[in-house]
Amino acid sequence: MALLEIKDLVVDYGIIRAIKGINMSVNEGSIVAVLGANGAGKTTTIKTISGAVKAKSGSITYDGDDIMNKESYKITSKGIMQSPEGRLILNGLTVEENLRVGAYSLKSEKGKRVQTMIRESLEEVYGYFPILKERKKQQASTLSGGEQQMLAIGRALMGRPKLLLLDEPSLGLAPMIVKNIFEIIGEIKKSGRTIFLVEQNAYQTLKIADYVYVLELGMIKTEGTGKELLADESLVNAYLGSK
């Protein structure tokens, strides 16, 4: 069943058409990835889902509701959280203070107090990223690039998302750190969350993604399961880069 449905989406930046009528479907409990080179329209797509960029036409439906061009806070309140490109760590705050910022939208549910939910979310995040627990009192700005990426993903998880949006989680990271980040993304999926992933790292993405769309100049060049595209060496070399 599709949790997120994108139909005939068109996005313009002034006179530039960045997204040219794309269609995508994200099934509940899956990892769906969007791959492509710089300028392909990957980040524009994810920002349009989260409400940071407005679409010209088309539709975006989440869990049966129309969310296209809604305010970002309304989209977040529906259970969609984003780990942004560039991480956007809050300088001047500790690791744990950064994480707690991610829980701002939580509301008590099923008789459970918000503070209890925050405590449970912290335990979940620290389970995925033990290094963050070790450094929870440390200034977030002093973390390494890989640790800051873990913090950005953890902060998004603090809001207990049903749909987790990840924008370029491997950007600028060493290969071993990238491998670790992707392993953790796979673990997060096992918790039942749906993940929409925008990436340039083809090899690692194809290994964990259930379904993949390849964007080129704002259009879908090809699509298929991660296994199908991973087996197509000419496609990997031509559009997605090497391992």
Rounded to 10°, the helix 175-190/114-128 angle is 130
| Chain mean pLDDT for the chain | 90
Helix (H) or strand (E) holding 27: strand 16-27
For residue 237, pLDDT over 90 is answered with no
Give residue-wise pLDDT tens across range 134-164.
999 999 999 998 899 999 999 999 999 999 9
**Which residues on neighbouring strands pair with residue 5, listed in sequence order?**
25, 61
User: What angle is formed at CA 201 by the lines to CA 166 and CA 124, rounded to 5 degrees?
Assistant: 35
Find the mean pLDDT for residues 115-135.
93
So where are the chain's domains? Answer: 1-79+162-243, 87-160
Show Cβ contacts of residue 206 under 8 Å, excluding neighbours closer than 6 positions: 33, 35, 212, 226, 227, 229, 230, 236, 240
**Cα 107–chain centre separation:** 22
Give residue-wise pLDDT tens across range 196-212.
999 888 888 999 999 99
Domain 1-79+162-243 - what CATH class?
A: alpha beta
The model's pTM is 0.92
Give residue-wise pLDDT tens across range 59-91.
999 999 999 999 999 999 899 999 987 667 888
- Calculate the dihedral angle through the C-alpha atoms of 91, 93, 95, 96, rounding to the nearest 10 degrees: -150
Find the mean pLDDT for residues 176-197.
93
